[in-house]
Amino acid sequence: MQCLQDHSNPFTDTYVGDNVYYKEHPLNMGYKGTEEPRDWITNNVIEYYSLFGYWKKVEKQIYK
């Protein structure tokens, strides 16, 4: 396909400057710019070690 392009450059080589905004995430550790906090479904879940553990605690709060 002629319309596909390969973008395999590291983030720091592609986007430079403080005008880049990104969400906080463990995979975004090398990003440079303005980091914004993650969006959460609820703020009451403090400890979680897996997606399913987190979701079980969120479900209890959503369906109260």
What is the mean pLDDT of the segment spanning 9-32?
Answer: 76
How would you classify residue 19: left for phi > 0, otherwise alpha for psi between -120 and 50, otherwise beta? alpha
What is the mean pLDDT of the segment spanning 37-55?
Answer: 80
- Counting the structural domains of the chain, the total is 1
Entry pTM: 0.49
Q: Residue 31's pLDDT is what?
A: 83
**Could you tell me the pLDDT band of residue 13, with boundaries at 50, 70 and 90?**
low
| pLDDT above 80: residue 6 | no
Pairing status of strand 21-23 against strand 34-36? parallel
Calculate the average pLDDT of the chain.
77
Separation of alpha carbons 27 and 24, rounded Å = 9
Domain assignment present for 5: no
**What's the gap between Cα 55 and its chain centre?**
17
Q: Residue 19's pLDDT is what?
A: 80
Q: Which domain holds residue 45?
A: 11-62
